[in-house]
Amino acid sequence: MTSLVEKSKKICAYAAVDENLKPNHKIIGIGSGSTVVYIAERIGHLPNKDQFTCIPTGFQSKQLIIDNKLNLGNLEEFSKIDIAFDGADEIDSNLNCIKGGGACLLQEKLVADSADNFIIVADDRKSTGVLGKGWKKGVPIEVVPNAYNKILNELSKIGGNPTVRPGTPAKAGPVITDNGNFIIDCDFGEIPVADVKDLNSKIKAMVGVVETGLFVNMAQKAYIGNADGTVTTVSV
Ligand SMILES: O=C(CO)[C@H](O)[C@H](O)COP(=O)(O)O
């Protein structure tokens, strides 16, 4: 039986596609995770699906595009994306997000940054208003492998509690991203909305950091699927 959470992922994803994908859109960014599965599914059901080229944010995303028989593109060829849809691990009241729970944050941020419209889809557990309130695993940070120890020290110095994400039990040693890097998850406790941008800049300034999972002022809209079957839309 489909769980309420799964249903809420589906309704928000379907609503996001139905209300935002326009006839003039040609290039679509497809994010990663379990909620965007329904984004690809919905686009795959459209009679005009052949008019779109979809840009993936990682291995799983690429498979979603292929499985739904959508046209697959890449950022090298299409550097300007009309609209991108993605999930989130947590969303604050300004639509800043923590992303990277699935270790795809670098490609996700590249696609979001290239998109004219960036739409978040998530079930209502993710919309807490303050980053770090519900998502307790920390901010995902992609780092060059041989810099991890240096960056662990630097993150501790700015008040974080960092750990290298383990690949166990599937793999001994750290998770390796689609880009061949490590992920550090760094808990900063609750991050006030006014502090998110500054924290992101501090982490980005550390040499060896490739990208952070803090998506600051990137999303224009979020579609939140509620357990009662309704969808809440938030815009900035
Ligand atoms: O950032 C991500 C992957 O890196 C995902 O978008 C995020 O983890 C949300 O996933 P889900 O829709 O399964 O909750």
Q: Which of 108, 142, 154, 211 is catalytic?
A: 108
Give the closest residue (by CA) to ligand 1 atom 6.
87
H or E element at residue 13: helix 4-20
What residues contact residue 23 under an 8 Å CB cut-off, 6+ apart? 48
Which of 135, 118, 96, 136 minimizes the C-alpha distance to 36?
Answer: 118
Q: Which atom of ligand 1 is nearest to the CA of 104?
A: 4
Would you state the pLDDT for residue 122?
97
Residue whose CA is closest, atom 7 of ligand 1?
Answer: 88
Residues 2 and 27: beta-carbon distance below 8 Å: no
pLDDT recorded at residue 2: 73
Where exactly are the structural domains of the chain? 2-129+216-235, 139-211
Cα of 33 from ligand 1 centre, angstroms: 4
Is this complex's ipTM strictly greater than 0.90? Answer: yes
Phi–psi pair at 177, nearest 5 degrees: -75, 175
Q: Which CATH number fits domain 2-129+216-235: 3.40.50.300, 3.40.47.10, 3.40.640.10, 3.40.50.1360?
A: 3.40.50.1360
Q: Whose CA is nearest to atom 3 of ligand 1?
A: 102
CA–CA separation, 226 vs 223, rounded Å? Answer: 10
Count Cα atoms within 13 angstroms, Cβ side, for 160. Answer: 26
CATH class, 139-211 region: alpha beta
Look up 19 and say whether it is catalytic. no
Whether 124 lines ligand 1, by a CB cut-off of 6 Å, is no
For residue 1, the model assigns a pLDDT of 55
On whether the CB atoms of residues 101 and 185 are closer than 8 A, the answer is no
pLDDT in tens, the chain (236 residues): 579 999 999 999 999 999 999 999 999 999 999 999 999 999 999 999 999 999 999 999 999 999 999 999 999 999 999 999 999 999 999 999 999 999 999 999 999 999 999 999 999 999 999 999 999 999 999 999 999 999 999 999 999 999 999 999 999 999 999 999 999 999 999 999 999 999 999 999 999 999 999 999 999 999 999 999 999 999 99
**Residue 71's pLDDT is what?**
98
